[in-house]
Structure 1
């Protein structure tokens, strides 16, 4: 079900992102955290210039949709708005194409292929979330791969734990143009989530770049 452009009055821009250019910066300074089982997470705060301006354009222009999913004996609303851009469909802003091309070039040696698709999530406030999961649809169920996430808007924690449960082993705050890349066996051997929070947080857009056949 398509949703109207949401009214998000709680958003406050970053004091450090006041330029007029919109686009990715250099990928120098990526910090890698090695996890067990051959998984790793790269993090680069503030990678994207003009992130707040891009956030506002995406909120207004992307054809967001609200979804429902069957759970147990009922149907519940998915706690975020969604959009998907498959391989070959133009992305909603040229700066996102630049970001995808930069990531494909940087990770070519490790990934062995390009990022081709983009999924977008809009978290409207702290009640919106994504539960523990791994992106294990398609080839990522059996093969190492990567998922690169560009975060726009207010920061939210991206949490990681071993697959099947256990304590949170890593929390990465992501917002205002931050980049997080999950690689190696991360989708198979670890789970990630954006937990709900009672803190007063503004909206956030997550852009997830994936290779072909990874879901």
Structure 2
């Protein structure tokens, strides 16, 4: 029996992704036209699912590309969007707005290469971010036990969920790719003996994008 369910939709393609710059809170300029189309495809898929088995809540972090993604989902599912600072991505400090290759060169590989070292002045460490994000997700899981929750998320938030629920030590390399507008689903299963465990039902599911592209809509 499935009890709690968490569904993560990574934001669509953003302009900072195209420009290959660090899109922190000060410099994120939102989704591209392609990004909007990607999220609309995910929203159409989830709206059909929502009609059969409704989501209880929809959350997004405060960064512009997340709020835009959340708004598309909110309109399609007719579900209020809740913006929560605890779901924002890593703090980039002085790296905000800089080219990623410059940041990675200066930090000898970037956030993942040295998980316990800041990658710029005033930035998080990768391990520190994962601990903070995982702790917030745990609070939401406890709050919404027995419910279905949908997230407009950063790829880093998806990795934080994996770190929490697999579980993995913060900072350990995971190798998980998280594509734009992909769907990742965690389910909490219980059996007749009262035993419960988290199961990763799907990761980085982009079937809806393939269908949209085959139809010539992106």
TM-score by length of 1: 0.34
Counting strand residues as a fraction of each chain, which structure ranks higher?
1
TM-score by length of 2: 0.34
Q: Bigger radius of gyration, 1 or 2?
A: 2
Counting helix residues as a fraction of each chain, which structure ranks higher?
2
